[in-house]
Amino acid sequence: MTAEARSDALRLTHVTKIFGGVTALDDVAFSVGAGEVHCLAGENGSGKSTLIKIITGVYQPEPGAGMQIFGQDYPRITPTQARMAGIAVIWQDLALFAEMTVAENIAFETLLGNRPRPVSYARLRADAQAALAQLDVGLDLDARLGSLPIAQRQIVAIARALVSDARLIFMDEPTASLTQSETDALLAVVRTLSARGVAVVFVSHRLAEVLDISSRVTVLRDGRLVGVYPTEGMTQSRLTELMTGASFAQGVMARDTASQPEVLRIDGLGRAGDYSDISLTLRAGEVLGLTGLIGAGRTELCHTLFGMTRADRGTITLNGRDLRMTSNRDAVAEGIAYVSEDRLALGLIQPQSIADNAVLAVLRKITSSAGLLSSQKKEDTVSHWISELAVKIGKPSDAVSTLSGGNQQRVVLAKWLATEPKVLILDCPTVGVDVGARAGIFRIVRALAEKGLAILLVSDEVPEVYMNADRVLHMAGGRIVAEWDPRQTGLTDMEAAVYA
């Protein structure tokens, strides 16, 4: 065995996986060094999840593949063998138990076995404390997991992997729901793991943190290996090109919309515990960015603008008329549409078809005078918006869950654009969407604005609003604390203010 092979935590060669005639992975090679932080990058559908599931024994590759874990060859591997070999995966949903304590969650696998046996809570707590000590963090072992913020739950998931003697940990979108300060804390934990010899494979759509935390990046595209690159000297734009095979304009898109008619005005809006003294204007054809850390009150404000909650004070004016909304139905009737950050729970009905989801908000418009759904009107509506937004689908009758994250988001947009809104609220519209699909969504946003639609773009990723908004508002502690023109303010200054 060579010295190089001995230093590898994982080495894969000639990995191919075919599902029903569709090649998900095509002759892919992948390696991770012991103690290395390595990024696995690619758009949704590039094969990242399939590769991880092969490594963890969920799927078996086609004949001819080679797998070596910490120097041992595995012609085939099962999930149990993968765990015993020191491999752990922390999926985006974490797979933790909200009603159990921190200690119970961390030491959960030590409680498993073929036969019932008494639980030693002293041993359980000792194991949990030892795992947290390896991460140089402290948590209340007796706290119920459900009471903890998502950042601390991530720590619990990592500690659970360490209790299982994991030496290679895959992290799937670990920072998707974290603030910048929480992200920084998690990345510090990853560096601690690396320093202790634990290899980490980082999967994230946030390219800045990918380049910050990892030493190498493996890029997949359409199931094929594009290449393995050192992150030193790599730029986000270059990595985007490698992932997508295309280049994207990175310039500021801001325009002067001050001469356009005012569509939405908010004066002194407040809701106890959520936000206070919010005043802003939104003009026809304008993309108004709203950014700030998670918990700043942005989504709570969106909920009020969409009639889901009521403000305690202040006014909302649409086209010069004060609104008195008591439900989201009132908001839709007034011409306000809302794309929620939680696409899966609030944006779509996953088991239903693409067509059914696309017309959910306009059922009355496509119903005949006899009260029956018009199949022709439904087909025309779906066909128009699928074409207009370039949604990549098989058939309109396919379940919306079969689509990629980017195409699901386009279906959500189609659903609301079909209502012909005057104001479109986009609340973190690119959550869980890969870099190529993000660019496509923002092209749609800009095209809608150029047609005169007033758009409120909410995001906790400052570059998104900086690049795509005409003006940017900074919200912190439930208040708007700053306003910027991206043409006159640098991204670095804006990020420094938001993440301070």
At residue 6 the predicted structure's pLDDT band, cuts being 50, 70 and 90, is very low
Are the C-beta atoms of residues 206 and 461 closer than 8 Å to each other? yes
Number of alpha carbons in the 13 Å side-chain half-sphere of residue 466:
18
Count CB atoms within 10 A of the CB of residue 458.
Answer: 24
Contact, 307 vs 326, CB < 8 A?
A: yes
In this structure, are strands 8-19 and 471-476 parallel, antiparallel, or unpaired? unpaired
Segment 282-307 mean pLDDT = 93
Same topology between domain 3-244 and domain 262-498: yes
Is 175 a residue whose pLDDT tops 50?
yes
User: Mean pLDDT lowest for which of 117-121, 277-281, 465-469, 493-497?
Assistant: 117-121
What local confidence, expressed as pLDDT, does residue 1 receive? 36
Q: Distance between alpha carbon 457 and the CA centroid of its chain, in Å?
A: 16
d(CA 492, CA 462): 10
Calculate the average pLDDT of the chain.
88
Q: Which residues contact 363 (CB under 8 A, 6 or more apart)?
A: 373
Does 22 score more than 90 pLDDT?
no
Task: Return the CATH number of 262-498, one of 3.40.50.300, 3.40.1360.10, 3.90.1150.10, 3.40.50.2000.
Answer: 3.40.50.300
122, 119, 86, 125: which is closest to 102 by C-alpha? 125
Residue 432: what pLDDT? Answer: 67
Check pLDDT > 80 for residue 179.
Answer: no
Task: List residues bridging with 426 in a β-sheet.
Answer: 339, 457
Asked whether the CA dihedral 428, 434, 437, 438 is positive or negative, the reply is positive
**What predicted TM-score, i.e. pTM, was given to this entire model?**
0.68
Region 120-128 average pLDDT = 86
Determine the pLDDT at residue 327: 93
Report residue 204: phi and psi, to 5°.
-155, 145
Distance CA 471, CA 1 (A): 59
Q: Which CATH number fits domain 3-244: 3.40.50.300, 3.90.180.10, 3.40.50.720, 3.40.50.150?
A: 3.40.50.300
Q: How far apart, in whole angstroms, are the C-alpha atoms of residue 432 and residue 495?
A: 21
Look at residue 4 and tell me whether its pLDDT is greater than 70: no
Burial (Cβ within 10 Å: 0-12, 13-18, ≥19) of residue 273: exposed
Distance CA 231, CA 210 (A): 8
Q: Is the pLDDT of residue 114 over 60?
A: no
Over residues 104-119, the mean pLDDT reads 72
Q: Residue 218 — pLDDT band, cuts 50, 70, 90?
A: very high
Sequence ranges of the domains in the chain: 3-244, 262-498
- Residue 2: pLDDT over 50: no
- Percentage of residues of the chain with pLDDT beyond 90: 49
- Give 343-379 pLDDT, tens digit per residue: 666 678 878 899 998 888 888 888 877 778 888 888 8
- Residue predicted with more confidence, 432 or 303: 303
Task: Measure the CA–CA gap between 99 and 494, rounded to whole angstroms.
Answer: 40
Q: Could you give the 3-state DSSP secondary structure of residue 379?
A: helix
397-419 average pLDDT score? 85
Instruction: Name the residue among 82, 87, 107 with its Cα closest to residue 34.
Output: 87
At residue 5, the pLDDT reads 41
- Report CA torsion sign: 302, 307, 308, 309: positive
What is the rounded distance in angstroms from the CA atom of residue 238 to the CA atom of residue 235?
Answer: 5
Is the pLDDT confidence value at 433 over 80? no
Largest CA distance in the chain: 78
Q: Would you say 124 and 111 are in contact if contact means Cβ atoms under 8 Å apart? A: yes
Give CA torsion, residues 181, 187, 188, 191, to 10 deg. -170
Instruction: Identify the pLDDT of residue 140.
Output: 92
Tokens, residue 242 = 């490698």
pLDDT of residue 248: 61
Cross-strand pairs, 377: none
C-alpha neighbours within 13 Å on the C-beta side of residue 388 = 17
Instruction: Note the pLDDT of residue 307.
Output: 95
Is pLDDT of 3 > 50?
no
